[in-house]
Amino acid sequence: MKENDSFHPFTLAVGALLVAGAPLVAACPARVPCRLRRLPAKEQGRRYDVETLEVMKRVLAPGSTAIDVGSFKGDILAMMVRLAPRGTHHAFEPIPRYAAMVRKRFPSPRIKVH
């Protein structure tokens, strides 16, 4: 790992297996044991979304089925629908007001909000 390169466990995903975790930044050159520091929360979210989109571009086909766990307002779900428009998608959102927002945003019968 080079200085200032970041590592995110999600980038180690294989197929549909998703590994969650906060992005980390190395504070030392490659092949040298070092301490890692967490990125600020706002940067974590942006980086996570970019990395998630890159993985989805590689693994989703137009008819794929995808699952969004913790869909919040449905931004990741929107990417899934754009990349796999003929698929059936499932969004899991435990907070009722956000689940209602996602249902309203995605009225399609191919999108199930749980």
User: Is residue 46 within 8 Å of 71, Cβ to Cβ?
Assistant: no
User: What pLDDT does 48 receive?
Assistant: 78
User: Is residue 98 within 8 Å of 72, Cβ to Cβ?
Assistant: yes
Q: How far apart are CA 107 and CA 1, in angstroms?
A: 44
What is the tens place of the pLDDT at every residue in 71-114?
999 999 999 999 999 999 999 999 999 999 999 999 999 999 99
Integer angstrom CA distances of residue 95 from 7, 20, 66, 74: 30, 20, 20, 13
pTM over 0.75: no
Question: Which CATH code fits 60-114?
Answer: 3.40.50.150
Phi and psi angles of residue 58, each rounded to the nearest 5 degrees, phi first: -80, -30
Q: How far apart are CA 34 and CA 96, in angstroms?
A: 42
Q: Where are the domains of the chain?
A: 60-114
